[in-house]
Amino acid sequence: MADQKNILDLYFLDARARLIDIAAFMDRVDRAGGETDFRYNAYREALKALESGQPDRAEKVLLAFSDPTDEPIPAATTKAACGAWPGADED
C-alpha cells in the first residue's frame, strides 16, 4: 500500500483541477440565475459528505444522489436516469 506522499505525488494535481472545476461549476450555476432544481440541491447535499472525515466519502456521495426507497415503482415512464433522485412525487 502506497503512503500518503505517494498518493499525493500521483493524484494531487488531478484532484486539485477537479476541485476547481467543481467550484467553477457552482459559480456557473449561480451566475445563470433562475430557479434551482432537485439535482443542484442533491449536489450541494452530497458535498457535505466530503467533510465527514471518514474513509467512505465516495459511498456517501453516491447515496446522497440515490433513491432511498425500497419498493418497485408502478411503471417506467422514461428510460434515462438523471443522476439525482427527484423525490417520490416525481417517479
Partner 1 sequence: MRYIEPHGHMVSRTTDDYRAMAMAGCQAVCEPAFWAGFDRSSAQGFYDYFCQLTQHEPRRASMFGLPHYTWLCINPKESEDLALADEVLAIIPEFMDSPNVLGIGEIGLNKNSRNEMTVLEKHVDLAGSNDQLILVHTPHLEDKRKGTRLILDVLKSDSRIRPERCIIDHVEEHTVGMVLDDGFWAGMTLYPETKCTANRAIDILEVYGNERIWMNSACDWGISVPLAVPQAAQEMKRRGNDAQYIDKVVYQNPIEFMSQSPRFIRPVGL
Shortest Å distance, C-beta 55 to partner 1: 8
Q: Which three cell numbers stand for residue 24?
A: 467553477
Using CB atoms within 10 Å of the CB of residue 6, give its burial: 0 to 12 exposed, 13 to 18 middle, 19+ buried.
exposed
Only segment of 25-33, 45-53, 56-64 that touches partner 1 (CB under 8 A): 56-64
43 binds partner 1 (CB under 8 A): no
Of 31 and 79, nearer to partner 1 (C-beta) is 79
Rounded Cα distance, 28 and 25, in Å: 5
Shortest Å distance, C-beta 27 to partner 1: 21
Q: What angle do CA 53, 55, 59 make, to 5 degrees?
A: 110
Which residues contribute to the site for partner 1 (CB under 8 A)?
Answer: 1-2, 6, 10-11, 56, 58-59, 62-63, 65-70, 72-85
